[in-house]
Amino acid sequence: MNDYYQDLGVSKDASPEEIKRAYRKMARRLHPDVNPSPEAEEQFKKVSQAYDVLSDAEKKRSYDQGADPYAAGAAGFGQGFSFSDIMDAFFGAGAGQAQRGPRSRQRRGQDALIRLDLDLADAVFGGEQELTVETAVVCSTCHGDGAQPGTSRRTCDVCGGRGEIQQVQRSFLGQVMTTRPCMTCQGYGEVLVSPCFECSGDGRVRTRRTLKIKVPAGVDTGTRIQLTGEGEVGQGGGPAGDLYVEVAVRPHQTFQRRGDDLHCTVELPMTAGALGTTLKLDTFDGVNELEIKPGTQSGDAMTLRGLGVTHLRGGGRGDLIVHATILTPTKLDEQQEELLRQLAALRGEERPEGRMTPAHPGLFGKLRDAFKAK
C-alpha cells in the first residue's frame, strides 16, 4: 500500500482542512507548470493521488481499513479527480468553482468621472452648478430587456439553457472536466430572437443629459464629489454606477489660495508706507477697509480675519492675507528731489551705508515677522 499520509506530510488524525493545506503547499511547489523536472512530475502525481484518497471521506475510510484504490496497478487514476482541487491549490478555496447555471443579463454599470471647472468665488462659498454628461441610460424602446417589443427569447440550442458547456480532456492526471460559458448565448442560456432595433439588444443607449449638482463650500482642485446612481446604466438595464465629479479651480487674477487662506498683494507709494493710510479693498465679501500702519515695509503682511475660504469640513473660514509692496518713485521733479534731500538731511541719511542682513533670520527675527503678520 502507498503511504498517503507520508506523501502529504500529515498525521492520520489530520483534519480535512489540514489535508487541503498540505496539498496546496506541495502542489504549488511540484506542479509541472512551476517545476518541469521529471522527479517533480512523479512526486506531483503521488501527492495528487494521496489528496484524491484522503480528501474523500469514503475513500479515506476504505484506505484506513486496508484498501488502497491505487495499489498494485489499480486502474482509473484520477477518476473522480476534480479540476477545482488544482485551482484551489494555486488560488485558494473556491477558485475553481465557477457560478453554475446561466448568468443574468443585468449587470451593474460602470462608474463615470467628469471634470468641473469652478471659479475661485464658487469654491469659497459653494453653490449649485449645472453639468452636461454623456452616459448610458436605459433604452426607452425595450426598457432594458434587450428584445424588440412583442418578441420573446428562445432557449439556447447548444447549451440547452444552462449557459455553459462542459468539456472532458485527457491529461497526465487522467480525465479532467472543465466548464466554460456557451459561446452561442454568451452564457445567458437564452438567445434573443429579435434584438431591439434601438439598442441592438444591449438594453441601454448613450445620450446627453443635464444634471444639477450642489458644490459644497471649500472644495479645491482635486476634490471629488460622488453622485450615487448617476453613472453608467448597466447592461440589460442593470443598476447604474456612480458619477464622480472632480473639481478644478481656475486661477484668479487677484487672489491666490493657500490651504483655506487667500493671499493678495497691494502696491503702496513710499509716502503711504511711511505715514500709513487706509485702503478700500475689493474682496469676495464686498469692499473692506484695510489699515496700513506707519512704517510699513515691502513684504509686510496684514491679515483680515475670516475673509478666506470656507472650511470644507467644519465651520468657519480661513483668512485673507494682504502683502504690501512699497513703490519707490523713479522720476522726481526739482521740488520733490529737494524735499527728499531735506528729509535725508533731517534723518542723517545724506551718505547712508548699506547693511548686510542675515540670510536666515534668528529666533527674534522670526518672532518679529510673525507678529507683523497678525
pLDDT over threshold 90, residue 315: no
What secondary structure does DSSP assign to 295-354, as a single string?
T--TT-EEEETT-SPBPSSSS-B--EEEEEEEEPPS---HHHHHHHHHHHHHTT-SS---
Give pLDDT, residue 314.
79
pLDDT over threshold 70, residue 126: yes
Q: CA-based diameter of the chain, in Å?
A: 124
SS (H, E, C) 135-176: EEEECCCCCCCCECCCCCEEECCCCCCCCEEEEEEEECCEEE
Q: Contact at 8 Å (CB) between 64 and 50?
A: no
Residue tagged 515677522 (cell numbers)? 369
Alpha-carbon gap, residue 47 to 194, rounded angstroms: 53
Residue tagged 509541472 (cell numbers)? 32
What does pTM read for this prediction? Answer: 0.61
DSSP-derived 3-state class of residue 68:
coil
Alpha-carbon gap, residue 317 to 209, rounded angstroms: 35
pLDDT over threshold 80, residue 368: no
Alpha-carbon gap, residue 7 to 19, rounded angstroms: 11
pLDDT tens, position by position, 45-90: 888 888 888 888 878 877 887 777 666 544 333 444 444 445 554 5
SS (H, E, C) 188-243: CCEEECCECCCCCCCCEEEEEEEEEEEECCCCCCCCEEEECCCCCCEHHHECCCCE
DSSP-derived 3-state class of residue 246:
strand
Alpha-carbon gap, residue 139 to 109, rounded angstroms: 14
- Mean pLDDT of all residues belonging to the chain: 83
Q: Count of CB atoms within 10 A of residue 300's CB?
A: 19
Alpha-carbon gap, residue 239 to 171, rounded angstroms: 43
pLDDT over threshold 60, residue 91: no
pLDDT over threshold 60, residue 223: yes
Give pLDDT, residue 361.
58
pLDDT tens, position by position, 325-355: 999 998 989 999 899 989 988 888 888 777 7
As a residue count, the chain comes to: 374
DSSP-derived 3-state class of residue 44:
helix
Alpha-carbon gap, residue 184 to 354, rounded angstroms: 90
Q: Which residue has the higher pLDDT, 368 or 3?
A: 3
Q: Contact at 8 Å (CB) between 27 and 57?
A: no
Q: Which three cell numbers stand for residue 171?
A: 491529461
pLDDT tens, position by position, 251-307: 999 999 999 999 999 999 999 999 999 999 999 999 999 999 999 999 999 999 999
SS (H, E, C) 253-289: CCCEEECCEEEEEEEEEHHHHHHCEEEEEEECCEEEE
Share of residues in the chain with pLDDT > 70 (%): 83
pLDDT tens, position by position, 144-180: 888 888 888 889 888 888 888 877 666 655 566 677 8
- pLDDT range class, residue 1, cuts 50, 70, 90: low
Give pLDDT, residue 319.
97
Vertex 198: Cα angle to 192 and 200 (nearest 5): 40
DSSP state of 92: -
